[in-house]
A and B are shown apart, each in its own frame.
Chain A
Amino acid sequence: MSHPSQAANFLKDEKRAHWHDETLWFVREKRDISSKGIPEWEELRKLASGIKDHVLTKLDYYLEELEKKATENGIKVHWAKDAEEHNKIVLSILEEKKCKAIVKSKSILTEECHLNPFLEKHGVEVVDTDLGERIVQFLNQPPSHIVLPAIHLKKGDISEIFHEKLQTEKGNEDPTYLTNAARIHLRDKFMKAKVAITGVNFAIPETGEFVVCTNEGNADMGVHLADVHIACMGIEKIIPRREDLGIFLRLLARSATGQSITNYNSHFRSPAPGKEIHLILVDNGRTKQLGREKFKNSLKCIRCGACMNTCPIYRRSGGYSYGSTVPGPIGSILSPGIDVKKYSTLPFASTLCGSCSDVCPVKINIHEQLYEWRQEITKAQGWSAKGMSMKLANGIFKSPLAYKVSGKVLRATLKTLPNSIIYNPLNVWGKGRTVPEVPKESFKEWYQKNRP
């Protein structure tokens, strides 16, 4: 997996790439308008960041509190140390209930754990009920964005997919028509599912409840029709008190889509008579990340996706160019913690422009962590030609004389070389850019002559 080659591939269709950029920029602008509509925005960010920092310092305490209170409420709490354990727990509940078909509302955690292929391998039909997720599921693709899973597809693409899968009219791209076809299709799946899976946006140890946010109401529809609700959460999803929600819900909706509030913010506290709620607490590398001083605050993320919408690289390379469950800037600081080799190009897929850090509702210093991961990755890689050239550069820059001589040689070379050599394929700079015109003397030379 190499981000540069995936990005170059995405950019081959310049028109479509431009459309992708504009579409996400539109979401970023909606976010700007709604975040600027409340004067206390920066105060909210500060509060949210502080609360999350606090949670990370006492995560063990809060998790045990959550388990205690949730259990008192009649929720069955499970602990999973990794994706494999998580998937096995889900499967064991399904087997106990003799359930062969489930509905699932959006959960990036279950994507991270690759739950769908695992369950399908064991003969369980999994239907993603978020419209965007259902669309990419028809294509056997993962989401390309954590909030807008099918943002890389155009109306025409969706019309074609629905024509093939749901027998809609060929060429009919009317969004209302297509959405209605999806509703009818999903309604049938909802009615048949005995078990519904959801993610968790916030879990509250104070009350032992958890909150799931969706715009389509699909989590609620699934859960209320099924006998069993399985909720899967990463262990970092804690906020201490119910009253803290006011801060996070305001930040989340505005950051994600520019809405002032998500349509459905549903609280789940105890199962209805005759029904069950299972809550699975998943580590899967989070404790390890918590132990990395420079990177631990990446766990403050509330998965709003704003850093993707604002990122000039994400907008022009698409979610799949990252090859990780969570793409974009936040994905580029989370993924190397999971597999530093596999995701080694991601922290370099950035100009360190800092827009991600300024847009982040919980003030994660994303671009600074990208810089720090670069330092870690080059260390992990050991010897490289690039590393050698950096050592040489340091040798030049630590000596004023070496610097002076090298600069002179460089300028003289550039001045005398014919264009055919300057613009050869090895000079990547020159593929799409001219090189600067070479002056006859450096500033230092000019200064020594003119300001003796």
Chain B
Amino acid sequence: MEVALFIPCYIDQFYPHVAQATLELLEKLGCKVSYPLDQTCCGQPMANSGFERDTEGTTRQFIETFKAYDFIVAPSGSCVLHIKEHQPKIDDLEQFQKEVQSKIYELSEFLTDILKVGTVKGSFPHKIGFHSSCHGQRGLRLSSSSELNEAPFSKAKDLFAGIKDLELVELSRKDECCGFGGTFAVSEEALSIQMGKDRLADHLDHQVEIICGGDTSCLMHLQGIAERNHKSVKFMHLAEILNQAIS
């Protein structure tokens, strides 16, 4: 299967290893992966700050870059949700925009629903806490939401289920927000830090070695707080764990 890789700007600049893991993982699972070099950003930071109308140029760039591909995969629930729901409408690219919005997938969603890999076979002998990003969870419905009366499910946990010796802990508050929230992290700094501390404490109370997630932005925020407070816990993106487990 041929897919185009979309690497969000902050992953490109600060977490290239997450992008590399995503690329390698998709290749191991039999995909032919292209990485269009003209890609930049999805536009979310501006839109969530109230400037969706100023992201036309960014959106146009995104559509032009990805319109030729059948599938677009990104290791970020948040950016995918933005593209699906909050891009400003570009009138002269309307059809392409609709197509791009319907063929972009978050990584765990793509592996589960399109590639239908079921569980990933491999080994990863570590105790892990999984942080569900809100945009992935309640936005893209990658896992059940604790507020709803629905049967529990999680695409990430299903992928982990076949990995030997991987211990996934059950958190006390299953899906509380970490407090990143994009510019919220800066505009509501005190709240953002407190939310991050509380989220971190839940993981640490369960003695996890690694906090894993599908959105590097949440992990960047939590890692920043953990390091500042000298907490020894590692952070890995879902793609990194799956990629390591297989090899």
Contact = CB atoms under 8 A, between A and B. Distances in A.
B228 A432 contact: yes
B7 A443 contact: yes
Interface string A124-151: 0000000000000000000000000000
A375 B52 contact: yes
Contacts of B180: 351
A432 to B, nearest CB: 4
A17 interface: yes
A352 B47 CA distance: 12
Contact of A400 (B61, B147, B175, B198): B61
A438 B220 CA distance: 12
Interface string B221-243: 10111011000000000000000
A429 interface: yes
A32 B147 contact: yes
B228 A312 contact: no
Interface string B11-45: 11111110110010000000000010111110101
A312, A348, A437 — most chain B CB neighbours (10 Å): A312
B189 A431 contact: yes
Contacts of B146: 32
B70 interface: no
A157 to B, nearest CB: 22
State which size class the interface on B falls in. 35 or more
Contact of B224 (A350, A399, A435, A438): A435
A434 B228 contact: yes
B91 interface: no
Contact of B184 (A316, A351, A438): A351
Interface in A423-452: 428-429, 431-439, 441-444, 446-448, 451
B168 interface: no
A313 B58 contact: no
Interface string A399-422: 110010001001100000000000
Contacts of B189: 4, 8, 428, 431-432
A390 interface: yes
A429 B186 contact: yes
A398 B51 contact: no
B185 interface: yes
Nearest to A451: B35
B170 interface: no
Nearest to A403: B40
A382 interface: no
A391 B16 CA distance: 26
A349 B188 contact: yes
B233 to A, nearest CB: 14
Given A11-B194, A355-B177, A397-B57, A442 B51 contact: no
Interface in B30-83: 35, 37-41, 43, 45-58, 60-61
Interface of A: 3-4, 7-8, 11, 14, 17-18, 21, 25, 32, 35-36, 38-39, 41-42, 310, 312-313, 316-317, 348-355, 357-359, 371, 374-379, 386-387, 390-391, 393-400, 403, 407, 410-411, 428-429, 431-439, 441-444, 446-448, 451
Interface of B: 7, 9, 11-17, 19-20, 23, 35, 37-41, 43, 45-58, 60-61, 86, 134-135, 138-139, 145-150, 173, 175-177, 179-196, 198, 220-221, 223-225, 227-228
Given A400-B40, A431-B189, 4 more contacts: A378-B50, A393-B45, A400-B39, A407-B9
